[in-house]
Amino acid sequence: LHLVGNALIGGTLGVTGNSTFTALVGINKAVNGSVGLSVGSDASNATSYGLEVTNSSSNTRFLVDGLGSQRFYGSDNAETARFKDGKVGIGTTSPSSNVEISSSDDTRFQVTDTGDSSTFWIRGDGDNTSIGNTTNHPLAFIINNSERMRIDTSGNLLVGATSGSAHILSKSTASGGMLEIINSSTTAPSGAAFKFSHQNPNDGTSTFFTTNDSSAYRGGWLSNGGVQNYQANNSNLSDR
């Protein structure tokens, strides 16, 4: 079959051999009618193509093979993406997850908000895997549709808070402990270490640990090993 101009076919057209159409082909399906265009393959294998859409040199194309996979090819005629069994593979012909991205080096998934110029990516490069962004925006962690933790643009870790100046800040309105450290080692276990690597150990003004209530400073553990007195019910208690 060879059509040079426009063609209107009111009935059913069956083509068993090769066909060439040099003009546009319009296929119109009646509302709630049968399928407007059905292209099939009589062989169930990856090399039998039920549908192929390509440019004149066949180096950029889309095709559906006999196994039902949809493939996309780039300008160098190399496969760039594939839909297979409800999974999307980019850089792989056999995706094992709902979405899988694969490459030989520096593989990343990136989301960009052009309105706020923010980006988020998941990246695998060499021996390193990372999650984060390349813009000056905080990284928040959402649980049950509520923010639970974030890393701000200064590198501070904030738990239960959206702003703060401490390197690690945890806020809570719930009862119970704010911090719990457990070491299950049976050989010389230790809890937590606080170090000032460049501070004079005899300096009595640097504090490793402080205690405050809602209204006042109550006490501290100094870098020289001293423990400051603290107040409870407005009475000074002696060090022990």
The tens digit of pLDDT for each residue in 143-176 reads 999 989 999 999 999 998 888 888 888 888 877 7
Residues 6+ apart with CB under 8 A from 21: 3, 7
Which pLDDT score, from 0 to 100, does residue 237 have? 45
Q: 100: number of CA atoms within 13 Å, CB side? A: 17
pTM of this prediction? Answer: 0.59
Output the pLDDT for position 136. Answer: 92
pLDDT tens per residue, range 3-52: 666 666 666 666 666 776 666 666 666 655 555 566 655 556 666 666 77
**Residue range 183-229, pLDDT digits in tens:** 888 887 777 777 666 666 666 667 777 777 777 777 777 777 777 66
The Cα 88–Cα 82 span in angstroms is 6
